[in-house]
Amino acid sequence: MQFAQPLFFIGLTAILVPIIIHLFNFRRYRTYYFSNVKMLQDIAQKTKRESQLQHLIVLFLRILGIVSLVFAFTQPFIPSKTGISKNSNLVSVYVDNSFSMEGNTPSGTLFTDAIDNAKQIINNFRYTDQFVLYNNDFSARQSKRLNKDEALQELDNWTISPRSCTLDELLKFEENACANAEEFNIFHYYISDFQKNNFNFEELEHHDQSNSFFIHKPAKETGNVSIDSCWFLAPIFRVGQAVTLKVRLRNCGDAEVVKLPMKLYVNGEQKALTAVDLVANSTAECQMNYTITSAGLQCAQLQIEDIPITFDNQLFFTYQVTDNAKVSVVYEKTSNRYLAALYGMDSIFSYAEMEVNHIDYAELLKSSLVVLSEVKSLSSGLANELEKYLESGGSLLVLPAMDMETASWNSFLSKCNASQYAKLSEQGMKVGNINTESDYFKGSLQNQNEALDMPTVQKYFTFSPFHAEESIMTLENRNPLLFAHSVGNGRLILSAVAMNDDFGMAHRHALFFIPLHNMGIKSVMQQKLYNTIGVDHAQTVAKNLENSEDVYALRLQNSDVEFIPEQRNMGNECLLFLGRDITEAGFYDVLQNGARQTTIALNYDRKESQLTYYSEKEMKDFIKTMPDSSQVQMYSSNDTDITHQIQESLHGRPLWRYFVFLALFFFLMEVAVLRLWGKWKLKK
């Protein structure tokens, strides 16, 4: 036990007053003479010994009462293991502002109660202390240190956010914000409902030997159904095409859901309706079929009705119904009939051929796929244009000529950091392996366990040095037949053979046609249907070459919300950084000079859909298992006002109230002895 005001022990000298009064009590017993003592026979006679005993008891009670009062004024307390420093303190306070904190409480919501708790924490520190306040947004301002008034004002500006984060992410942000604070005594406070899918308490570790406090906000667990994700079975879309949309739903509750209706809207028009059954705590997949009726960008929305959690009842996504993919073939002298049959006869592609000495570079750069078919040598001009094409995100397929000039080709390949052509091997060889997980094969083979009839080549080029980012087909001797490199934002695909009978019969085989066909459609395949707020931080958009220097803006449809994101030009594309500006799910138009260039869809993170929480008992049990050096404590969530708990953890457990009660008890006992002693004797 320690004392906050030990100087008040001087007051113990006050016990001399009752002692002096007792010692110098000059009352004397006098003798009275009565003519008839029979009149006094019912009066209890008070002896001298009884009177002295009464005075000693009263004296003892008075001394104890005074001592108790003096101890109360010295403010005794049991010191805390995590006491506040006499020097400056650095206090970091995390307030969970995710969707789950919108749960109702008797005094408001979990979030408003958490804000009040944060203010109570701040008010228990001094004006010389510094504060770091942060939530799930992790904004730049939240990494700055504030004084007491700034901290209290900052809390009034906070609102619910669609973002959620894990304990590991909190600790990393906190570590950076509290760096270089050796001269401070550091306190960490975490106010949250502590969802199980976000908090793994085994990650809790502070290397600065600081004190950590958890303020648990009890939330009510409830059932919830969310639209988890969606995807199309078709890689590309055309008007009049029947498509199938696959949707995954998740039931986070303990009760089975039967015949939950789900609707699909495309450009505001309902396209499909289905009903879904979900077993408790499970996922289910369903499909929605409809026909594409219009070209261009399509804004689609899936919708269910599920309460009380509604933020995950909608899923926004976009897809493009494009014109045919443009494939340009550059040849040396004669065009290749196999390429013409592969790309020219398929309505998916817009096929064009160019002789190597008569290339329309403007059209070439607009192509989704460029095929160099048996071009013997590369001029410097063509090589430069191809580099630009790859940097801007195009796909380039190289089919070598039998008598190719490897010097000019390898100069170009070296700049692309790609494998280089070596020598022509005339050893016949069968294809030994195909990469069914490659983007150019995936989903094309129905039964991958069947023994496949592999194509055979009579001649092929070797590569030295060989290194491939993605192997597509290899020969039995493990030499590459078809492989790909990433160059800039594009893809460079190199083949060891051309579509020519001199190289063998591989080009007549279906297994060789599959990857070449997929190279053409991959450029118009749907890339990403939607982004997730707080998870996906960037989005690429195609640049309008006529206004390539203009900046882009994002505007939420049917709203006045508009802002200019950070952006970076990359060839024919622009990378938009979504950052922390987007807080609402929906369709965002990408504007250039006020005109819409495209639209992107953003959705809330589904991590908040799983509404299971740590109980206060579970958290306390875990804290008990931690070593004492971790200095972790937890505040009880029974009280909305946690000021008393904060004061105890910072300043220790105060005992002055108990001494006040003791003083009152002793004084009351004194009064009782003085008033009841004589009556007790009479009854006796």
Sheet containing 395-399: order of strands: 349-355, 325-331, 369-373, 395-399, 490-495, 480-487, 470-475, 429-434, 456-457
Pair 455, 509: CB distance under 8 Å: yes
CA angle 27, 30, 45 (to 5 degrees): 95
Mean pLDDT of 351-357: 91
Cis peptide preceding 235, ω within 30 of 0: no
pLDDT of residue 602: 94
The count of other CB atoms within 10 Å of the CB of residue 150 is: 13
Report whether pLDDT(683) > 60: no
Beta bridge partners of 617: none
Phi-psi region of 393 (alpha: psi -120 to 50; beta: other; left: phi over 0): left
d(CA 417, CA 390) in angstroms, rounded, equals 12
Mean pLDDT of 664-672: 84
Backbone angles phi, psi at 291, to 5 degrees: -115, 135
Pair 441, 472: CB distance under 8 Å: yes
d(CA 155, CA 119) in angstroms, rounded, equals 8
> Is residue 84 classed exposed, middle or buried when 0-12, 13-18 and 19+ CB atoms within 10 A define those classes?
buried
Percentage of residues of the chain with pLDDT beyond 90: 31
Mean pLDDT of 593-609: 89
Residue scoring higher pLDDT (642 or 319): 319
Residue scoring higher pLDDT (466 or 439): 466
Report whether pLDDT(494) > 90: yes
Closest by alpha carbon to 393, among 490, 500, 304, 514? 490
Query: Would you say the C-alpha torsion 164, 168, 170, 176 has a positive or negative sign?
Result: negative
Closest by alpha carbon to 84, among 646, 659, 496, 620? 646
| Residue 120 half-sphere exposure toward CB, CA atoms < 13 A | 19
Mean pLDDT of 555-577: 84
> Is residue 671 classed exposed, middle or buried when 0-12, 13-18 and 19+ CB atoms within 10 A define those classes?
exposed
Report whether pLDDT(571) > 70: no
pLDDT, one tens digit per residue, over 100-113 is 888 888 888 899 99
pLDDT of residue 48: 59
Mean pLDDT of 303-314: 89
Residue scoring higher pLDDT (544 or 546): 544
**Whole-prediction pTM:** 0.67
Which of 30-34, 172-176, 225-229 tops mean pLDDT? 225-229
pLDDT of residue 186: 87
Residue appearing with tokens 């570790």: 205
Lowest-confidence pick of 68-72, 82-86, 205-209, 309-313: 82-86
pLDDT of residue 32: 59
Average pLDDT, the chain: 83
Cis peptide preceding 465, ω within 30 of 0: yes
pLDDT of residue 638: 64
DSSP per residue, 49-79: HHHHHHHHHHHHHHHHHHHHHHHHHT-EEE-
Report whether pLDDT(260) > 60: yes
List % helix, strand, coil for the chain (3-state, nearest 5). Answer: 30, 30, 40
pLDDT of residue 26: 46
pLDDT of residue 469: 85
Report whether pLDDT(501) > 50: yes
pLDDT, one tens digit per residue, over 399-453 is 999 999 989 999 999 999 999 999 999 999 999 888 888 878 876 665 555 567 8
Percentage of residues of the chain with pLDDT beyond 70: 85
Report whether pLDDT(29) > 90: no
Mean pLDDT of 128-145: 90
pLDDT, one tens digit per residue, over 477-488 is 999 999 999 888
Q: pLDDT class for 89, splitting at 50, 70, 90?
A: confident
pLDDT of residue 44: 45
Sheet containing 653-654: order of strands: 2-3, 76-78, 653-654
pLDDT, one tens digit per residue, over 177-215 is 888 877 788 889 999 989 888 887 776 766 556 788 899
Q: What is the DSSP letter of 424?
A: E
Report whether pLDDT(550) > 50: yes
d(CA 147, CA 118) in angstroms, rounded, equals 14
